[in-house]
Amino acid sequence: MTGINLYINGMATINFCGTAQERALQPEPDYKLYIPDAGMRRRMSRVIKMGISSALMALESSGSNNIDAIVTGTGWGCLADTEKFLISILDNNERMLNPASFIQSTSNTIGAQIALILSDNHYNNTFVHGGGSFEAAITDAYLLAMEGKERILAGGFDELTPTKENLFNRMGVWRKHIKGEGSSFFVLSPFEEERSVGKIVALDAAGGNVSNNEIIERSKELLESRGTSFRGVKAALCGRESLCSYFSDMKIETEYFKASCGEYPTSSAYGLWRGLSLLTNAKRGDKVLIINSYLNEASSIMIIEK
């Protein structure tokens, strides 16, 4: 998709990355500011708290809680609640189960909770397609903007549970990737505002497991479709470390963004947040390229512009 002009008029992110000790040292947001009910907070898993809080923070930064759609993406869904319910089935031999974790295990829990908090009756959708989940949510947001929606709340989130950490360890994933979890939300609009931090102008989310050469080639094509080339790129954010040298060789400012968010299916949402942060002091027309790949499964390319 290249004919996009999706302005970002509000955004927020919460992330934890690195070893368990490192993650424990990273400050948690004050969740009670966003979820004041202590009982609700206690019942909520990490991803639900991160998701709701980052969504409300993004709305706060946009200056208004009015929205006309909520779209979310999550690769792993509400993993902790899913595990909790699965374990309770086994441990209690299917008897006297508490439905709370079953209720909260559904992937659309966060989108639904946000709607509930905001009393929002509008469109609400959730994509659960591994490393392409956030990209699908952005695709939906693009369609919504074309259909006349003016303020779309879109986000991506995933949580790292002890089970996921252990299983990925057994699979050898952490030998090559940094552990991470997080949630990032954006208020998207087809209209520019004073507070717009930038806009998404192109997205290529069709990628499966592709080589560095192929991803560079596709990035080039995507830039060309916007009438520019690598020369017109102010910075490149890479979600695959081995891609960085391609850009540094071209003397383009380069960053491996997963060093600060870790690897999880919707880490590209953090990549978008990071890219937009780089545009804060940029001049109009400056472009940032965000290239992501999630493990060996999915890849995407996004161009954002001031």
Partner 1 sequence: MNREVYVGGLGAITAMGVGKAAQLNGLIAGETALGPLTLFDTSHDVIVGEVKYSNRELAVMAGLNREIEYSRTTLLGLLAAAEALEDSGVNIKGLRVGFISATSVGGMDISENFYRHYNKDKNRGRLRQLVGHDCGASTQFIAERLRTGSFVTTINTACSSANNAIMMGARMIKAGLLDAVIAGGTDSLCRFTINGFSSLGILDREQCRPFDATRSGLNLGEGAGYLFLHSARVKTHRQYCTVAGYANANDAFHQTASSADGAGSYLAMSGALNMSGLRVKDIGYINVHGTGTPNNDASEGVAMNRLFAGNTPPFSSTKGFTGHTLGAAGGVESLFAILSLTQGYLWPNLNFRESICEVPGMVPITKTTKKEGITSVLTNSFGFGGNCSSIIFKQDKIGQL
Partnered with residue 180 across adjacent β-strands are 17
Nearest CA-CA partner of 134 in 84, 72, 91, 79: 72
d(CA 45, CA 31): 12
Of the ranges 120-128, 222-230, 239-247, 273-281, which one interacts with partner 1 (CB under 8 A)?
120-128
Residue keyed to tokens 């507070």:
195
Judged by CB under 8 A, the stretch of 56-64, 125-133, 248-256, 271-279 that binds partner 1 is 125-133
- Measured on CA atoms in the order 13, 301, 159, 108, is the torsion positive or negative? positive
- Contact region for partner 1 (CB under 8 A) — 16-24, 131-139, 191-199, 230-238? 131-139
Q: Please, what is the minimum distance in Å from the beta carbon of residue 106 to partner 1?
A: 5
User: With CB under 8 A as the contact rule, which of the stretches 18-26, 53-61, 101-109, 239-247 interacts with partner 1?
Assistant: 101-109
Taking the least distance from each CB to partner 1, the nearer of 44 and 276 is: 44
CB of 292 to partner 1, least distance (A): 16
Alpha helices per DSSP H over the chain: 20-25, 38-43, 46-62, 79-91, 100-104, 109-118, 133-146, 162-171, 212-225, 244-249, 267-279
Binding-residue pattern over the window 36 to 75 for partner 1, x denoting contact by CB under 8 A: ----------------------------------x----x
Rule CB under 8 A: say whether 33 interacts with partner 1: no
> Mapping DSSP to helix (H, G, I), strand (E, B) and coil, where does residue 5 land?
coil
Say whether residue 174 binds partner 1 (CB under 8 A). Answer: no
Q: How far is CA 105 from CA 35, 38, 156, in A?
A: 19, 20, 16
- What residues line the site for partner 1 (CB under 8 A)? 1, 70, 75-77, 82, 85-87, 89-91, 93-95, 97-99, 102-109, 111-113, 115-116, 118-130, 132-133, 136, 139-140, 143, 146-147, 163, 166-167, 170-171, 206, 208
